[in-house]
Amino acid sequence: MEPASVPERIEWDAKMPFIGKTEIRHIFLGIGIAGLALTFFLVILELASPTPASVFDYLFIGLVMTGFILLLAGIVVLLLHTITRGGNLYHFIIDSDGVAYLPGKDAQNMTDTMAVLGILSGNVTAAGAGLLSRGQASGGIRWKEVASVRLIPDEKKIYIARKALVNPVLICCNDETYPTAVELVRRYSKKQVS
């Protein structure tokens, strides 16, 4: 695409799926690392006890617990994917200030429902999770905060990592907006796009 034909700003709506290679990898990697850390903690705790039993028992228990949590996470992701019919709709913006994403009506309804159900059930934790997820439903990144940019062309996504290494931004595009979004990210981020 020629630089002259690329606009200064682009806005579009796209679904952010729950089931995609990138999303599944991040979910399972986070749970897997936490589960393995818990498993090693159990093994070390058993080795430090005055009468250590079989370390393999605790290793097996930790791995089974991790596998069970991964299975539950997979079921939840499949349910959310089915309920939302492929993911929530988000509004994406790329301009000279940075990248932003705003939740669509479905995503807002889901977070509001979580908070209301938590309050009605008397479960403060669920209510708090709903309110926290509502706060995290929108976000963005300024170009000066960008550490790296990675393109995922087969999924039409752009992964933007922050210098602080927390809260990366995943931009979901469609066939029409992906080339323009890539050009704008290359222009404004001034980072090596891989």
Tell if the pTM clears 0.85, that is, is over it. no
Q: Is the pLDDT of residue 135 over 70?
A: no
Over residues 41-89, the pLDDT tens digits come to 888 887 887 776 777 777 888 888 888 988 988 898 888 788 878 778 8
Same domain, 7 and 60: no
Over residues 16-38, the pLDDT tens digits come to 777 777 778 888 888 889 888 98
Is 112:130 a contact under the CB 8 Å cutoff? yes
Same domain, 79 and 94: no
Is 149:194 a contact under the CB 8 Å cutoff? yes
Q: Please choose, from the candidates 160, 182, 183, the residue with its C-alpha nearest in 3D space to the C-alpha of residue 170.
A: 160
Number of domains forming the structure of the chain: 2
CATH number for the domain spanning 3: value is 2.30.29.30
Over residues 78-125, the pLDDT tens digits come to 887 888 787 788 899 999 999 998 887 777 777 777 778 778 888 778
Residue 112 maps to a domain: no
Residue 130 maps to a domain: no
Residue 4 maps to a domain: yes
